[in-house]
Amino acid sequence: MNKRTLLAAALDVASIIVFVAIGRREHDESGALAGIAETAAPFLIGLLVAWVAAKGWKHPASIFTGLAIWPTTVLVGMIFRRLVFDAGTAPAFVVVATLFTGMCLIGWRVVARLVRRRSDAPGGAVSVR
């Protein structure tokens, strides 16, 4: 696996961990590593399934890859959360999880693309390609 793919995978995993850590903090749950790992597990499984289904390693930093892995990550994560981890999937949680993970999984890719375009443009100006 090349460095770009590893970095993209790490940023996606970090996105899930940040989502879980913030959620646990907002609900006054322990920030202990075990609690974060248990809460993140279904979504990390979903992320893995999404990466395989979308062949995320082919274009790991592509916005289209982010768009492809986002819904699969949430859907598989919610299914595993409910059926395997016996945890809740209240509608409000589904909405928040969907929006937050989308913002993160697509967001870092948008930022990376903008930075890449800016560095590729003559004089450091943002390119309109």
pLDDT digits (tens, 9 = 90+) for 66-118: 999 999 999 999 999 999 999 889 999 999 999 999 999 999 999 999 998 88
For residues 52-62, average pLDDT: 97
Residue 26, pLDDT score: 82
pTM for the full model? Answer: 0.87
Mean pLDDT value across residues 4-22: 96
pLDDT of residue 49: 98
What is the Cα 108 distance to its own chain's centre? 9
Q: What percent of the chain has pLDDT over 90?
A: 76
Nearest to residue 105, comparing CAs of 37, 41, 44, 53?
Answer: 44
Q: What is the pLDDT of residue 32?
A: 82
Domain boundaries, the chain: 3-124
Listed in sequence order, the residues at least 6 apart from 67 whose beta carbon sits closer than 8 Å to its beta carbon are 106
DSSP 16-72: HHHHHHHHHHHTT----HHHHHHHHHHHHHHHHHHHHHHTTTTSTT-HHHHHHHHHH
Q: How confident is the model at residue 129 (pLDDT cuts 50, 70, 90)?
A: very low
Tell me phi and psi for residue 52, to 5 degrees. -70, -45
pLDDT at 125 over 70: no
Query: What pLDDT is recorded for position 34?
Result: 86
Is pLDDT of 24 > 90? no
